[in-house]
Amino acid sequence: MADPIERPDHAFPEAQREGLYRAIFERRDVRAQFRSDPIPPEVLARLLEAAHHAPSVGFMQPWDFLLIDDRAVRSRVHAIFERENAKAAEAHSGERGVLYRRLKLEGILESPLNLCITCDRSRGGEHVLGRQSIVEMDLFSTCLAVQNLWLAARAEGIGVGWVSILDQDELAEVLGLPESVYPLAYLCLGYVDEFLDRPELARAGWRQRLPLAERVHGNGWGQAADAPALFEALSARESER
Ligand SMILES: Cc1cc2c(cc1C)N(C[C@H](O)[C@H](O)[C@H](O)COP(=O)(O)O)c1[nH]c(=O)[nH]c(=O)c1N2
């Protein structure tokens, strides 16, 4: 095997790399502590542009961005959340049920802006390059747009919360979506008082981050990977966090 490259030609300078990883590790799902300050148009433009530069199957770019600041529309979406969340809560009994009901799982009315990122399943026609065998590739592409926006927002000091406790048909109706358009991500955006150092669900004792080394396999599911140096590096990184 060739020696590892010390400084790859096209790597970003260290400070820029650090910035990117910082956005990745310090991004949080935000549901509370939104400030009411509006997001300036030029900042929102940067976030949308970041989303629009996501990779997409066959360069399909199946997304659209619905900016929802109208109180009446948001109240209707919030009512959908309340109904769906009451149903979801019933799935958990005992202590788990008590904990579930304590969790804050949306910021629809408190955040200054709601944004629905949709996926037009018909964009690009019937034969989108790379989507012939796996038709869900348009949905996966749109998720990448969401993640781009989420990371860019963190770098801008803007919190984003994804609300999925919603009936998608009712949501599509409230937003007047055409038949082929799927409401993929309903997001709450705004400046925040703080970004938590750990996921809210971890802090609340709902679920913890899984040890990464246990999730790395060899040449087949459940097979040990013959990569001692990788595992050493993983455990060194894990103990740093
Ligand atoms: C597709 C999808 C859907 C949802 C979420 C995320 C994603 C990716 N998350 C946020 C989720 O709970 C959170 O990402 C994890 O708990 C990890 O926390 P951080 O995002 O690292 O803060 C989320 N959170 C919430 O409070 N209500 C929700 O309905 C949802 N729905």
Confidence check: pLDDT of 92 > 60? yes
For the Cβ of 29 lying below 6 angstroms from any atom of ligand 1, the answer is yes
**Closest alpha carbon to 190 in 88, 85, 74, 99:** 74
For the Cβ of 140 lying below 6 angstroms from any atom of ligand 1, the answer is no
For the Cβ of 154 lying below 6 angstroms from any atom of ligand 1, the answer is no
**Closest alpha carbon to 159 in 195, 105, 113, 114:** 195
Check: CB of residue 141 under 8 Å from CB of residue 51. no
pTM of the model: 0.96
Q: What is the DSSP letter of 29?
A: B
Average pLDDT over residues 151-180: 98
Place of tokens 């200054």: 112
Q: Model confidence at 71, in pLDDT bands (50, 70, 90)?
A: very high
Check: CB of residue 121 under 8 Å from CB of residue 62. yes
Confidence check: pLDDT of 5 > 80? no
Check: CB of residue 158 under 8 Å from CB of residue 111. no
Confidence check: pLDDT of 107 > 80? yes
d(CA 113, CA 191): 10
For the Cβ of 105 lying below 6 angstroms from any atom of ligand 1, the answer is yes
Average pLDDT over residues 35-48: 97
Question: Of all protein residues, whose CA lies closest to atom 20 belonging to ligand 1?
Answer: 29
Check: CB of residue 158 under 8 Å from CB of residue 189. yes
Check: CB of residue 144 under 8 Å from CB of residue 138. no
Report how far ligand 1's centroid is from the alpha carbon of 79 (Å): 19
- The helix (H) or strand (E) run that includes residue 14 is helix 14-26
d(CA 52, CA 145): 6
For the Cβ of 162 lying below 6 angstroms from any atom of ligand 1, the answer is yes
Q: Model confidence at 190, in pLDDT bands (50, 70, 90)?
A: very high
